Structure 1
């Protein structure tokens, strides 16, 4: 299994995996997914083996407590980001249990630290808080501003943050 930068050539595969994985939210459009890849190509990845693309991870430089709304086109990154926001991680159902998610998350953390981001953030959906806690993310209380953004991610959306140096090292 290898990690490669995500490009528009993989967009159809990414959309297929997204459709297979998300049942509590409406999947994002091809334009929205492509905007994230174009905006931050060095922080969006795919995991691929000889069977094809097994999963993907899309992330963007951001600010703690200020994630993008779901379904929003991303054209630029914030001028003074202080974290790497993990927008989406999805694994093809037939590749679950193969360590694809762990591999993508480790690569994400490595890139974040190389870019000198000590913090990562994400929005947990579909009751995935326990999964993210295994990787060092902790639930953070949402103020009213953040609660508005969380509503775009569905009923059980939870904002989480991770102090990366505590859990990951650059190898």
Structure 2
């Protein structure tokens, strides 16, 4: 029996989510206050992969955000621009020990369904750490970066790509 299930993220999850994010993405640390702000902004789109024992094995942090714009890392989002029917998947991580168990696809499917129910028409992200092929397999397409976006992408690493999926 699979004891891991995706559910809505709650404020009580943030300490464990931030700790997991710090382990998974040490080159892109973000403070808990910014995770909390993003959770408040996109409560229906933020998910936690939780175990019946209370462990957190994964998370998704997404919120309404205009297409073609990359939100800042580890900074406040205020003021929040109009989302124009789009959401941004800011952070998505799975504990390596359980990463090949279909949890990423299941979490993304739940997120996409919730975005559709909310009336959103597209989902964007920045693919990092050589994950472009995974995201392409989930229906995301690479978008060409203008000079301003290319400058922001550079802070994520040379292989970072801005990607969008129509919902």
- The two structures have a TM-score, normalised by structure 1, of 0.87
Aligned to 1:135: 138
Alignment of 1:67-78 (within 5 A): 67-75=70-78, 77-78=80-81
CA RMSD of aligned residues (A): 1.6
145-154 or 42-51: bigger deviation: 145-154
Contact 2:48–2:56 under 8 Å retained in 1? yes
44-53 or 103-112: bigger deviation: 44-53
Instruction: Tell me how far apart the structure 1 counterparts of residues 112 and 134 of structure 2 sit (CA, whole Å).
Output: 16
Structure 2: runs of 5 or more not aligned: none
Task: Quickly say closer, same or farther: Cα 1:9–1:76, change in 2 above 3 A.
Answer: farther
Task: Quickly say closer, same or farther: Cα 1:98–1:76, change in 2 above 3 A.
Answer: farther
Instruction: Tell me how far apart the structure 1 counterparts of residues 109 and 91 of structure 2 sit (CA, whole Å).
Output: 14
Matched, 1:95 2:80: no
Shift of 1:79: 2.5
Query: Number of residue pairs matched?
Result: 163
Aligned to 1:45: 47
- The two structures have a TM-score, normalised by structure 2, of 0.89
Structure 1: runs of 5 or more not aligned: 165-171
Aligned to 1:28: 30
Aligned to 1:169: none
